[in-house]
Structure 1
Amino acid sequence: MKRLCRVLEVNQSSYCKWLAGAEARAARQRQDLILAEEIREVYGGACGSPRVTAELRGKGRRVNGKRVARIM
């Protein structure tokens, strides 16, 4: 790993931290896919992320408007 980090000019400790976060990134990606399905159910094609966020919150889903906008 030391040689790989040197060749790629990457700090070894940063690489290890990135590698350790792989599980969290995968979990976040799965959650994003679930949220995308919920957005498809609410999104009628004519409304924007603020309205979709409000609809999701109205249904009891705790969600951030910026995240909804990113996924849309």
Structure 2
Amino acid sequence: MLNHFQERWEVYQFIASYKHLYPIKKMCKVLKVSRSSYYRWFSCGPSNRALENSLFTDLIRSIFDSSQKTYGSPKIATELNRQGYHISKGRVAKLMRLNGLRSKIIRKYRITTNSIHRYPIYRNYLNRNFTPEDLNEA
């Protein structure tokens, strides 16, 4: 699955490779990209922020996969900060959302039945016979 920045990069590359066949204005309109952002990409290349985001996305994905997809943005941000990368929990959450990474919520097992009690235990009249022959037989 591609992240948001790689998708944008591929759109710009598509426009650049087909500009001899179709007008740039038309392709930008069809692909829902502003012409100014295409020309900025064409002249400057990707921004430092976009390069950082693609690096962080790869790191986030590796940590997320190594945790069996249970880590959310706070734990991933803590792990990245522990590794020496300075990134906030909000930025990690945004990159995870853009790339469709959602953590599995594992709930703690709770016992809901109390078998040790002092209440009277009634006799089992049905004895698992749920299909009696006549009415009021059980």
Q: Which runs of 5+ in 2 are unaligned?
A: 1-35, 97-138
Deviation at 1:42, TM superposition (A): 0.9
Aligned counterparts, 1:1-72, within 5 A? 26-44=47-65, 45-72=69-96
Q: Which runs of 5+ in 1 are unaligned?
A: 1-17
Deviation at 1:69, TM superposition (A): 0.4
Runs of 4+ with deviation above 2 angstroms = none
TM-score normalised by L of structure 1: 0.61
Deviations 1:26-59 (A, max 9, x none): 2211110010011111113111000000111111
- 3-state DSSP class of the match of 2:47? helix
Query: Which structure has more helix as a fraction of its residues?
Result: 1
Q: Percent identity?
A: 25
The CA distance in 1 between the partners of 2:47 and 2:81, in whole Å, is 24
TM-score normalised by L of structure 2: 0.34
**Equivalent residue pairs, number:** 53
Instruction: Say which one has the larger Rg.
Output: 2
